[in-house]
């Protein structure tokens, strides 16, 4: 089957990333904060943030040196220290965004959100990795006030290099297997910064959970098998991550060579030193695009490369081989993931997918399996809508059944796995998607607004606000204990029990509940059979 990805990682042997029992126990009391709660010392120098009624925010803190000039396409370096109190009241610039060129190359900063009140012990920490297909997005999109205040945890959001600046794998930039993945290296540098600095903000470096959505979730998957990420976190949250969508190093190098040649920086037979100098001398806006695209219709992905020192294996393959970090994992997807991308296509073209176009659309995304997929997903089963049939097929293949496969593989080893499906049929969606001629449903990324304050979303209903509070409680309880369950909540069982039954928590505004038909609803048996036929 053709590799199918969308916008939106050899691990060590058994025990990679294992959680010491002591890490789940109480830690020593936090150090006394300074008299001025807005000023915190870090290993690089003091910072001044803002203090509000229910939270503190320290924004735009450098966790690495600017990756510019000779540091472009190099692993991140430590930031230069400072002695005066540094302003941390405003976020740093976004990294260069795909196509638009917005943002800056000097962008490796993070934001720290904490509750305002003191605590007797250091608080657990959530490190959030943003989505955006590895070509767009930044940490400042995600307002974490509610997560920090209601959940009584510390939250860190971060930037990492994107597109060509983050993932170009040209062989002129280094030895084979040691190029590309600079954005993942940035994330690891941010995790090391958390390890070394978060106690100054009242956080516990031994109780870090990594989490992300879409490309951020793919990053989390990568860290679960990346050797250098071992020991930097004790649990993980994977939200809507098509984690099988990785590019191997040989493909990445080949396409990166073409990309560089198109920019006037030599061909495959050019002198490597000349090519590297040429690439590093280019204006950043010339690089505001992706070195490779793997297409779903008109939607594309660029990102990590496998078979490298940073990411030796594809994470889903690594999970199946038992090479994932032995940490508690919370993993899930949204019921109607791909309708978001169909809606974006409609907003751009003004047209929905027609019956005549359906075979070609499936052929572009499913390759030789298109006819079988078309028979399995006829528009008649989706109210006659070709767009909904296509969205269901791609969503099940890329998101739901990948999540199911990951949950099964990870649950084969302790600690436990907790699986969810976000299933609000009418979640608040961006105003720009109003007027779409088919229902969005619980589409891609819409669950994020239940956890974070996201600008531009309509106000939720009272029932949706209650669901948001419930999700924050589940998520933060998982961060605190490695188990989402707490008082006053519907019981969320682990993915499998001794009988082997698969159980998912369906998150809904009319009452969250445990379901056992997730795989059947998304036709995962069909997709697993297609995958097995190709192996």
Query: What are the catalytic residues?
Result: 214, 337, 444
Kindly state the tokens that stand for 329: 């994992």
Contact 65, 71 (CB under 8 A): yes
**Angle CA 207–212–214, to nearest 5:** 165
| Burial class of residue 25 (count of CB atoms within 10 Å of its CB; 0-12, 13-18, 19+) | exposed
CA distances from 278 to 25, 173, 282, 311, 472 (A): 53, 11, 6, 27, 48
Q: What is the DSSP string of 81-116?
A: P--SPEE-SSPPPPBPPTTT--SBS---EEEEEEES
How many whole angstroms separate alpha carbon 405 and alpha carbon 243? 10
How many whole angstroms separate alpha carbon 364 and alpha carbon 357? 11
- Which residue in 488, 424, 530 sits closest to 1, CA to CA? 530
- Which residue in 163, 114, 155, 156 sits closest to 137, CA to CA? 163
How many whole angstroms separate alpha carbon 197 and alpha carbon 141? 23
Which run of H or of E encompasses 505?
strand 504-507
- Which residue in 334, 300, 296, 341 sits closest to 446, CA to CA? 334
Which run of H or of E encompasses 405?
helix 401-411
Kindly state the tokens that stand for 153: 């945890």
How would you classify residue 40: left for phi > 0, otherwise alpha for psi between -120 and 50, otherwise beta?
beta
Preceding peptide of 47 cis, ω within 30°? no
């Amino acid at each position: 089957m053709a590799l199918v990805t969308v916008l939106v990682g050899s691990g060590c042997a058994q025990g990679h990333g294992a959680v010491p029992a002591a890490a789940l126990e109480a830690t020593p009391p936090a150090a006394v904060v300074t008299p001025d709660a807005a000023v915190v010392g870090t290993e690089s120098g003091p910072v001044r943030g803002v203090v509000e009624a229910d939270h503190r925010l320290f924004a735009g803190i450098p966790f690495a040196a600017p990756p510019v000039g000779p540091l472009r396409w190099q692993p991140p370096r430590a930031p230069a220290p400072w002695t005066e109190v540094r302003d941390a009241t405003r976020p740093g610039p976004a990294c260069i965004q795909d196509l638009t060129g917005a943002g800056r190359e000097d962008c490796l900063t993070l934001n720290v959100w904490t509750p305002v009140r003191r605590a007797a012990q250091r608080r657990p920490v959530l490190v959030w990795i943003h989505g955006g297909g590895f070509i767009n997005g930044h940490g400042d999109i995600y307002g974490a006030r509610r997560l920090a205040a209601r959940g009584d945890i510390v939250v860190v959001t971060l930037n990492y290099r994107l597109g060509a600046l983050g993932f170009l794998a040209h062989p002129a930039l280094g030895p084979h297997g040691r190029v590309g993945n600079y954005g993942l290296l940035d994330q690891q540098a941010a995790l090391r910064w958390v390890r070394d600095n978060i106690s100054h903000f009242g956080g516990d470096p031994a109780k870090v959970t990594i989490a992300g959505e879409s490309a951020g979730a793919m990053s989390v998957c990568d860290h679960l098998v990346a050797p250098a990420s071992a020991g930097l976190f004790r649990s993980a949250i994977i939200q809507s991550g098509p984690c099988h969508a990785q590019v191997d190093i040989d493909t990445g190098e080949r396409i990166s060579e073409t990309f560089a040649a198109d920019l006037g920086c030599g061909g495959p037979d050019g002198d490597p030193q000349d090519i590297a100098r040429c690439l590093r001398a280019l204006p950043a806006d010339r690089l505001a695009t992706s070195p490779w695209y793997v297409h779903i219709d008109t939607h594309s992905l660029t990102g990590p490369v496998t078979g490298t020192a940073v990411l030796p294996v594809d994470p889903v393959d690594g999970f199946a081989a038992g090479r994932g970090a032995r940490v508690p994992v919370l993993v899930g997807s949204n019921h109607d993931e791909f309708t978001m991308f169909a809606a974006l296509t409609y907003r751009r073209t003004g047209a929905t997918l027609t019956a005549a176009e359906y075979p070609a659309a499936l052929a572009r995304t499913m390759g030789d399996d298109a006819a079988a997929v078309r028979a399995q997903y006829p528009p008649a089963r989706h109210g006659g809508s070709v767009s909904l049939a296509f969205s269901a097929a791609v969503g099940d293949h890329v998101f739901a059944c990948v999540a199911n496969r990951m949950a099964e593989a990870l649950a084969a080893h302790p600690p436990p796995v907790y699986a969810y499906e976000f299933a609000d049929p009418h979640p608040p969606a961006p105003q720009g998607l109003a007027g779409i001629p088919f229902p969005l449903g619980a589409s891609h990324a819409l669950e994020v607004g239940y956890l974070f304050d996201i600008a531009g979303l309509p106000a939720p209903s009272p029932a949706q606000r209650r669901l948001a509070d419930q999700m924050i409680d589940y998520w933060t309880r998982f961060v605190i204990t490695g188990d989402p369950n707490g008082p006053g909540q519907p019981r969320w069982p682990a993915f499998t029990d001794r009988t082997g039954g698969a159980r998912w928590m369906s998150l809904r505004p009319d009452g969250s509940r445990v379901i056992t038909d997730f795989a059947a609803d998304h036709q995962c048996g069909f997709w697993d059979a297609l995958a097995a036929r190709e192996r």
